[in-house]
Structure 1
Amino acid sequence: AETGSDRLHIGQGSLIYGEIDNDMVRINGDFEVNNSSTFKVYKSTGRVGIGTAPTYKLDVAGDRIRLVNGTEWIAMRTDGGTGYLDLSFGAGSLVIQGSTTNENVIINPSMNKVGIRTWTPQYELDVNGSIRAIGSVYYGGSTTSANGTAYTKPDYVFGNEYSVMKINEVEDYLHLENHLPWVTSAEKEKRENGDATDMTRMAFETLETVENLQMQIIELNKKVTELSELIKTQETEIKVLKQIHE
């Protein structure tokens, strides 16, 4: 100890140095608690180990690291050999942010919503950007869409109870409504979803449209076949009449 001061030196070269008046202790070397791996700080590598000799800057042997503030916490854990990021909030969200505020992933537990490149997700998954799927995209599991309407493949178009519109009826409808009869109008889409488009509904409406067109083509083909047979019959009759007059 320094005479007449609050300084303490232990070991050659002040291996342990303390300033009592400043509540400060400095250890100029590796530091261990209980002469084991309970807690270690390595001066040469700048590594800290809790429960283990550190391999990384902070190395913890245990099932959980937790930051707590009252009843709220953020924890990283490996319970049962499975990795978790365990979150608890009062009214907060988990945010992973890049170099700008537009590069973010936000998870809002209280609203069960996830946003990518948006801070205010309006749907369970809200993405401000493009989406790509290498595999298939499935609709179903739950029988309703976001607006509460259930969709099924429109095979009913081929049923006996379904009335397929005739081509002239479709033409009249287009002149009156300015959209196909099987597809939601732009005005209704805007009213229900703002600037968004319900792609699930559009997919099923498009399929119903295609099926209706196919049924119309089948009917037209029947008429073409009938007319072809009629033309053949008339050609035969004309040929016979020509032979009679000759």
Structure 2
Amino acid sequence: MKGVLRWILLALIAGLALEFFFLTRIALMATVDPQSTTFQRSEAFRIARDKGQLRWSEQWVPYERISDNLKRAVIASEDGSFTNHDGVDWEALEKAWQKNAKAEEQAAQRAARAGARPQAAARAPARAPRIVGGSTITQQLAKNVLLSGERTLLRKGQEIVLTFELEQMLSKQRILEIYLNSVEWGEGVFGAEAAARHYFRKSASQLTAYEAARLAVMLPRPKYFEKLPNSGYLASRASTIAARMRDAELP
């Protein structure tokens, strides 16, 4: 019994130490620009392992040197209520949960139909259901800066805790500034400045409304769209986001 209690105590101490580490990092982020994120380091390691080279393009620029077009485009595309919520958009999460459940149900139905026709199933492998996130900008920042990319309930719970801590300790403007400087926009391409120069050969401060909208649309699948610059979906969705930008509220 004493051994079990000892292990429980050690687990609690380890958990508290981890939370203290996270709180310290978030407190530092209020004034110190993060040099890298957990996600960036894992991606750099993956690229170096798979391709034998280190590919990392990133250049921090302050909030005022990022085009308002890009700020509005990202908010319009990723988190329309960014300035109003407390870090988590519960309505968006509920909608994402419902969409994911429906997608999984449809995938199961396709698999059942394919099972009844084994020859057709062999010719056309089953498609995995598309997962919708529903995460806010603050949640994405918590995940990218501090956590791993694994999809578990424990990690999601930790993400929400860190999201509330970010909202309490940082201003909305600072959250958006760090997010825009650290988010992935292609393989080894991180942050608004690197993305603007990579795709448009200009500074992030010079992005037009349509250019900003194209970058914003890339965010859920940046490496995919990097390989498909002439995607019809990308152009169409960018036009939709550009039209919404005027309603996006900046912090």
Give the TM-score normalised by the residue count of structure 1: 0.22
Which gives a bigger RCO, structure 1 or 2 (Cα 8 Å, sep 6+)?
2
Which of 1 and 2 has greater Rg?
1
